[in-house]
Amino acid sequence: MSGSDTYRGWLVELNWLNEWEATHPDFDPTPLYAGDGPSDNRYVTAKTIPELHAEIDFWIEEHE
């Protein structure tokens, strides 16, 4: 895999730290209020693609 792809609807890309990251299509890092975290936190990172897929699977199992 190079550049970007998707897994279970999440956008998968290699970031500038040479780590894989995945964001859900509805990911929105903009906080609702000053001092809040992201309004949508569907974002995961990992060193390898299999680890990233496992992180996405875990996130979905825990939150959906």
Q: List pLDDT tens digits, range 4-50.
A: 699 999 999 999 999 999 998 887 777 667 776 656 678 899 999 99
Global pTM reads 0.75
Rounded to an integer, what distance in angstroms lies between the CA atom of residue 25 and that of residue 5? 12
- The predicted pLDDT at position 25 comes to 86
Rounded to an integer, what distance in angstroms lies between the CA atom of residue 22 and that of residue 18? 13
